[in-house]
Amino acid sequence: MYNRNYPKRKSLLPVLLFLFTGFAFAQTTVTLQDQCNCEVLSGTEVSAPGMATPAGADVGDIYVNTNTGTIYYWDGDSWELTSSDNQQLENFTYDNTTGELSLSLENGGIATVVLPVETITTLTNTLGAGNIIGEYTNENGDIVSILETITTIQDNGDGNVTFTNEAGTSITVAKSAITDLGNGVYQFTNGDGTDVTLDTRASSNPYDNTTSGLAATDVQAAIDEINAAAGTVA
């Protein structure tokens, strides 16, 4: 017996085949690994560009940080960013109390960093005992003494003095001195240690009597002679 429905069933086969084929294509998944012909790793170990672990990847392999969503690629030595952010710095503020520096970026984001506060250091001039000529107080409050070797000057008693510097090197220098012996007489000691007597008394100074007609030959005698003559005239 001829079944009239047979042709209808036969005509449904291409339609069903098309539907199944479309369903199969709809279920096909194309992954990043298929697109880049590389291995895609994921995790939280790579958190910044320049990191060298995990190692052993091939050039071009991808690493996805599952916490931040940042994608890195292996350049042969380290994991680097696949793109860069060239945002412009819009403004910045600094809090003197907290030491916090805030940077405002063009996309509206704000990045902050705390700068270490520098403790004031001091340098104190002092004339303490020993060789200490100053004290330095550092950031931790520690006091550091600044030492200076004491120099010496010694009178050798022969008209010379010896100067010894910080390095221990001695230098001898000739000196000069004048000693008051009293009554207008002075003793001068020159650089070579020899003494010269300076007598400033009138009796020690010669007097030229050629034009005065006085008999005196020194200043004191001339004064006395004039005084005597003046007294006689009076």
In the chain, alpha helices (H) = 6-26, 32-36, 219-233
| Pair of tokens at residue 35 | 């697109």
| pTM (predicted TM-score) | 0.26
- Please tell me the least confidently modeled range out of 63-67, 117-121, 228-232: 117-121
Report which residue type is found at 31.
T
d(CA 10, CA 208): 169
Give the pLDDT score at 121: 64
Distances (CA, A) of 183 to 47, 86, 209: 99, 96, 26
d(CA 80, CA 28): 31
Whats the size of the chain, residue-wise?
234
Q: What is the pLDDT of residues 43-59, one digit of tens each?
A: 888 888 888 888 888 88
